[in-house]
Structures are given as structure tokens and as C-alpha cells.
Structure 1
Amino acid sequence: MNQASIQTSYRGVFPVAPTIFDDEGRLDLEGQKRCIDFMIDAGSNGLCILANFSEQFALSDDERNTLMHLVLEHVAGRVPVIVTTTHFSSHQCALRSRAAQDAGAAMVMIMPPYHGATIRVGERGIYEFYSKVSDAIDIPIMIQDAPVAGTALSAPFLARMARELANVSYFKVEVPQAAAKLRELIELGGDAIIGPWDGEEAITLMADLDAGATGAMTGGGYPDGIRLIVDAYAAGDAELAAAHYQRWLPLINYENRQGGLATPKALMKAGGVIKSDAVRHPLLPMHPATRAGLLTIARRLDPVVLRWGK
């Protein structure tokens, strides 16, 4: 039996927490705690930190450690927290993952090893990479199957790792035709697939739920809206879930196609959750016209984020 199959099965909405900076680009730790409190108050079933939408690629190792310990201590068990521990090196990824477990993480999320536009690893190396990390920890591993890694991970290969590697049991699938891949993964992996999850800001959420997704990892700006969709579907009311999805889809689409990772912070600043919505240079601030469009759409929905801090 896959070791993770005897552990807690995590389901629901686990948004990515943005990393909060001040206007000079320094970590804003008090703002980070307010961000986390808002996300929990808005209905997140759990959280993910240090992901790409957290600008993890712009953080130093010391900053990563500071944020990991700050968030896990501040959450204090209120919800489970997934820590992203992606690294090209098997050894370093295992060390990061063990440190996350020791600090209280419920799960680690890891992309396959990649570097730049051309340095990739074949299936044998990828299998050994996840095997070494799995051997180093006792908590589940979520494989992030995303285009940013530039690495093809076939459903049969993912299912094989789920069956053979003790802690590989969750899969965040956010590639083209995600629903078809999730469906194939579930068929091939059976009980070893503990958590087939949706990603990419929920732009394919309804199709992914229809395919069997049990979790959604979205942006952090409006977990209350995503909860409406996921909760209705989990309760067996697909029509109500679809109605909620149609209502929230303009905001989901705007985040996915216009605002990107700056979206949650722009919403949080507008609602008084945080003081600065700065992204770390060389990322550029959200254009005022993009911000105006975002807030126009959001105000029609009255999400918690726009009133939490007021």
C-alpha cells in the first residue's frame, strides 16, 4: 500500500499565499500574517506557500526559511499548509522537504527538476529524484505538473510513481487538456492517486471536477468564491456549482489572463488586508488600467477580500 494512502486525505480549496513585500521590495512579515489570516477567514481549507504564485523564484534561501517558519507558526494548525520545496538537486529538494516536514508542513509540492530553457532530466532521473525525496520524509508529495517546468510527465509515468513511491500521492495538473489527463491518471493509478487536483487559477475547474479532481489550488484572492463552486460540487449539486462558476468566471479569467500573480495582492491591498501590493523586481507593477478592470469585476462579486480589512 502507498504509505500516503493511510494518511489524511486533503480535499477542497488550498490557495497559494502570495509573498508580501513592502514598497522597497523587502519582506513585510506583519503583512504576511494579515494575508494568511484573511485567507483562512475567507474559507480556505488549507494553504500553499512558496509556490510560483508566491514569487518563490525571487526569494533567497534565508527568506524562504523565514517565511516557512513564520507562516507555519502563525497558522498554528488552523488549516493544513503545503510547502513548495522545488529544487533541481535531489539532495537539496530532500533537505528542503525534510525541513518543511519538521516545521509542521502537511505536504510538500515539487515540480520535476529543470533549469532554464533547455536543461531537463529524463524519466529515470525524475523517478529517482522523487524517490530520494520520498525516502527523506513521511508526509505526502504533490507533483506539480505545470508547463513552467517544460517537462512532459505522462499519465502512465505519474501513475507508476504513485504506485511505487511511498509518499507520491497528490498531483496538481495544470497542463493543456488537464481534465483528460486527470481522468487518465485516476483510471491508471486507482487508489494510489489520493489527491488529483486542479490548478492554474481554476480556469479549468469545472472540467477538472467532472474528471474527478478533489482539490483546487488557486490564487489567494478569493477563496470564498472558489469554495462556493467546490463545495456545491462535492455535495452532489453540479448545476449549482456550474452556476457559481459562471458567476465567478470573469474574475478567474481576469486573474489567469490579465493580472497573473499580482492579482491576489492587488485585491488584498484594495481591501485593506496589506499595505503594499508590490511584486519583486524585475516583475513590474500591475498597470493602472489592468488594476481598474480587476477591481470593477471583483466589486460585482463582493468577495471577502474587498471588505476584510475595512
Structure 2
Amino acid sequence: MTKPIALEGVYPILATPFTEQGDVDENSLRELVRFQLHAKVDGIALFGMASEMYTLLDDEKARIAEIVVDEVKGQVPLVFGSGHTGLEVAVQLSKRAEKSGADALMVLPPYMAKPDGKRLYDYFAAVAKAVNIPIMIQDAPLASGVNIPAAMLARLSKEFENIAYVKVEAPPTTFKVTEVLEQSEGRLTVFGGMNAMYFYEELGRGAVGTMPACEFPEVCVNIYQAFKAGDLDTARRTFYQYLPFLRIGTLPGSAMAVHKEILKAGGVIESAYVRNPNAPIDERTRQEALDTLKDLDLLALRWNEIKAAR
């Protein structure tokens, strides 16, 4: 394996903008990438749960990857989600992602037929053998229905050099962060998830970054940079100021629409359309989301002004 890139910091999961007719909106996608780069993110992740990846066709994924790679132009690393509910498809998706420009992979476990321990191990081992770029295992039992024991994560990191990261989304994430770091004896690097709802505490436990939704990148960047500089007061204060907003971005069945409504409100994307089985939110829920941002300065809501000044 060539020398892997080191991942740390803020890697938002890129939403997939659609038109009102439900097609991929390429112009909004490019604007969304520019928005992330303007916020000085450390990297970008695509084809995660917040990308509605389970609704995307193969040719749509290929085109999205092409656009994102073109817009980023190597400025930050790209992490592609390549998990699937079957081993063979996960291997194929992982190979394609590597060829399409992924610097690393984020791999969700099988989520239809729930695997036993042997099948779970074999699944991640097969992906690790198929590619030459770093792998981040996504431990997200609320989304996948599969809990990955810390002992298995540690074993996989010991036996496969490119299994180097874990995205911990098993609540409470703080406990699992500690468990993974201790059992892997330093081999695994941990990112947080769950829309950054535990980001400040995760950093305190040894996580090196987060992979949240993409409508508040500068908030996470500010928290991360302050924490890294030793300014814990600023990191903590910023985190708790925005926590109600982070929480409302996890509404079951409506989270994707919340993310997109905020992006649309400020002009980052043109439409908040979400694909089935996700549901749009009503005006009351939309207003509740915006209410959590009163007296706060969110970059996404000022994006029209920034575009006009470009």
C-alpha cells in the first residue's frame, strides 16, 4: 500500500442536491462543494447516509464523484462511502471508489440480513484486501442495525494495515470512543458522527475529528480548531450554543430534509427535495429548525450575500 493520507478534522458528509423533479442538481452540487471549501473543512465525505446514498443510481454516483473531484481539485482529501448490504457489491463499490478518486473509504456493515461475527469479519476483510487506500469502518448501529464490537475493530486493525479508522456512531459515542482507542492500542484513529452531537466530548476522549451533515461546516471547524489550540472555553461554548440545532438535525425520517432546508434557505442549493423513503418537513418543523439558530451566525444562511460578492 502506498503511504496513506492522514485524516483528521472536519469531514462533512455531502448532501446530494436534487431538482424539484428529483434529478441530481449538478449546479447545486458544485455550489455545495464550494461552500464546504469556503468553510475551510479538512476534507469532504460523500455517499454517506446524509448523502441519501441508498437512493442513488450507479451512474448518478459516478457523475457525482466526477463533479466533486473536479471541484475539489486535490485541495482536501475525499472519503467515499462504499458499504453495502452484500459483500460482493461492497467490494465492487470500494474498487470503483478508489478508481474514481477516493483518498479513503467509509464502509458501513451489511444492513439487510444482519451478519453474525464470522460474516461481519469476512465482509470487512474482503474490502480491505480489495483496495490500497485507508478504510474507515462506520460503526452506526442505529442506521445499520449492526453493532460492531470494539474487540472486532481492534482485531481487524491488527490484521489489515489499511483498516485504520473508525467512525463511532454507537450511542453514547463517548464510551465507544474510549473503548475503541484502548482496545486497538493506538492502531485505530477515531472520528465522531451522529451529526456532531457529542463532538466536544469526543475530542476530549481522543477522537481526532467528526463527520457530520454539511450545512454547518464552519461551526465544527471552529470547535475543532479551538480545541486543538487549547482554547477549551471557546470550543465548549461554541459547541453548546449550537447543540439544539445539531439535535434537530437528527430527527428520524426528516433529518435529510432539515439539512437541505437550511442549505436552501441561504442559497447554497436550489431545492430541499429528498428522495423516498425520506420525507419533506412541514413549515412548523422548518421554523423550529430555524429558531434554534436565532442570535447565531450560520454561514449557510449568509451564502447568498457571499455569492453576490464573488
**1:299 Cα deviation from its structure 2 partner:** 4.4
In the other structure, the counterpart of 1:159 is 154
Gapped regions of structure 1 (runs ≥ 5): none
Mapped contact 1:25–1:281 kept (Cα < 8 A): no
Residues 125-204 of structure 1 correspond to what in structure 2 (within 5 A)?
A: 125-147=119-141, 148-193=143-188, 195-204=189-198
Residues 1-310 of structure 1 correspond to what in structure 2 (within 5 A)?
A: 6-115=3-112, 119-147=113-141, 148-193=143-188, 195-257=189-251, 260-310=255-305
Secondary structure of 2:165's counterpart equals strand
Secondary structure of 2:303's counterpart equals coil
- How many angstroms apart in 1 are the aligned matches of 2:12 and 2:90? 22
Amino acid at match of 1:40: L
Amino acid at match of 2:273: A
- How many angstroms apart in 1 are the aligned matches of 2:58 and 2:249? 28
Secondary structure of 2:293's counterpart equals helix
Mapped contact 1:14–1:44 kept (Cα < 8 A): yes
* TM-score, scaled relative to structure 1: 0.93
**1:130 Cα deviation from its structure 2 partner:** 1.2
Listed one character per residue, the Cα deviations across residues 231-284 of structure 1 (whole Å, up to 9, x for unaligned) are 111122222211111111121122124751222211111111111111113422
Amino acid at match of 1:131: A
Amino acid at match of 1:292: Q
Listed one character per residue, the Cα deviations across residues 119-154 of structure 1 (whole Å, up to 9, x for unaligned) are 211121121111111111111111110121111211
- How many angstroms apart in 1 are the aligned matches of 2:146 and 2:291? 37
Secondary structure of 1:196's counterpart equals strand
Q: Higher relative CO (CA 8 A, sep ≥ 6), structure 1 or 2?
A: 1
- How many angstroms apart in 2 are the aligned matches of 1:282 and 1:223? 26
Secondary structure of 1:268's counterpart equals helix
Mapped contact 2:257–2:279 kept (Cα < 8 A): no
- How many angstroms apart in 2 are the aligned matches of 1:253 and 1:88? 28
- How many angstroms apart in 2 are the aligned matches of 1:82 and 1:58? 19
Instruction: Show structure 1 runs of 4+ deviating over 6 A.
Output: none
RMSD: 1.6
Amino acid at match of 1:83: F
Listed one character per residue, the Cα deviations across residues 2-55 of structure 1 (whole Å, up to 9, x for unaligned) are x69x52221001011100001111111111111111111122111111111111
- How many angstroms apart in 2 are the aligned matches of 1:79 and 1:273? 20
Gapped regions of structure 2 (runs ≥ 5): 306-310
Among all aligned residue pairs of Structure 1 and Structure 2, give the percentage whose two residues are the same amino acid: 31
Amino acid at match of 1:201: N
- How many angstroms apart in 2 are the aligned matches of 1:299 and 1:272? 18
Mapped contact 2:147–2:170 kept (Cα < 8 A): no
